[in-house]
Amino acid sequence: MPVRYRDMITRLASFLLIGLACAAAAAQELPGDYVLLLDRDSHPLAGSYRIGPDVKMTLTSADGGLPGNPVYLDRAFFPAREAEMLSFYNGRHAYSSDPAAVDVGGEASILDKETLLPPLFKDQTPEREKTLKLTVLARLAFGPADRKLVGKVYKVEGIEPGDKDWRYGDFFHVEALDIVLPANAARAIASVETGKALGSGDFQALYVEKSGAPPDFVSCIAEKRRTPEYRLLAERQRAGVDAFLAENFTSGKAFWADTALYDTNQAMSVYTLCPN
């Protein structure tokens, strides 16, 4: 066997073994567990927090700064269930073909039939459709030498000229951890951190604390996390909001339709904890 082929097979076998080991760890993920992908300055690039068997909260900050809005998903790669409280979005996706079946070098036009679930605004149309063009560009490994993260680099585009959608762009799907982040951010992954958080709000606060910027805001969050009052708020959120999501997310219910749950969640928002 030529040396170059033997080397390729050896590298592929190493990637597969790492992927299987990470998959086994992901299968053991329990409510309360979190995963963070960190850059060389230990600032988060992306992360997820397991709320229940079929729902997790994800955060992303491609520049290593403050994260975007929390998103609740059943899975990261072409989710079937997706919700974002701050934009009052609660939806279900049904795809005309399986995006995971597209292999490296392949492309597919996938019709996403999106159903918007209650609560809805008065002028919202409950169902809408959009065709997404998926191209799987490569299978690569990023991250530290002792824990390479194997996954697909892929592109999502529209089919209409000039069409814009937040789902468009180049991404990297860390398959074993089921985390998606922008492809350019994946190149900056330097380490992986796992641990336990008090709840989904505490995970967001932890993420912000590790982001390091802006310093005054981060210091305020760090101080709040050390107080007994904070722990009480976090435990209340986990017993209320997180428990509701764990039980009802698959069926399509959103916690913000319940005023008490909405208020409990808002009390744990990093911007409520440190408004200035």
Q: Cis bond leading into 215, ω under 30°? A: no
pLDDT in tens, 28-71: 789 999 999 999 999 999 999 999 999 999 999 956 689 999 99
Tell the residue number behind the tokens 């998903």, with chain if given: 73
123 is a domain residue: yes
148 is a domain residue: yes
175 is a domain residue: yes
Residue 158 in tokens: 């529209």
Structural domain containing residue 176 = 3-28+70-187
Alpha carbon distance 51, 244 (integer Å): 10
Closest CA to 270 of 30, 35, 68: 68
Is there a contact between 48 and 56 (Cβ–Cβ < 8 Å)? yes
* 276 confidence band (pLDDT: 50, 70, 90): confident
* 6 confidence band (pLDDT: 50, 70, 90): very low
8 is a domain residue: yes
How high is the pLDDT of residue 27?
58
pLDDT in tens, 13-24: 443 443 444 444
* 124 confidence band (pLDDT: 50, 70, 90): confident
Domain total of the chain: 1
174 is a domain residue: yes
Residue 219 in tokens: 């210091």
10 is a domain residue: yes
199 is a domain residue: no
- Of 16-25, 95-104, 124-133, 166-175, the one with minimum mean pLDDT is 16-25
Phi and psi based region of residue 200 (left: phi greater than 0; alpha: psi -120 to 50; beta: remaining): alpha
192 is a domain residue: no
How high is the pLDDT of residue 98?
96
Mean pLDDT, rounded, for 93-115: 97
Q: Judging by beta carbons within 10 Å of its beta carbon (0-12, 13-18, 19+), is residue 148 exposed, middle or buried?
A: middle
Integer Rg of the chain from CA? 20
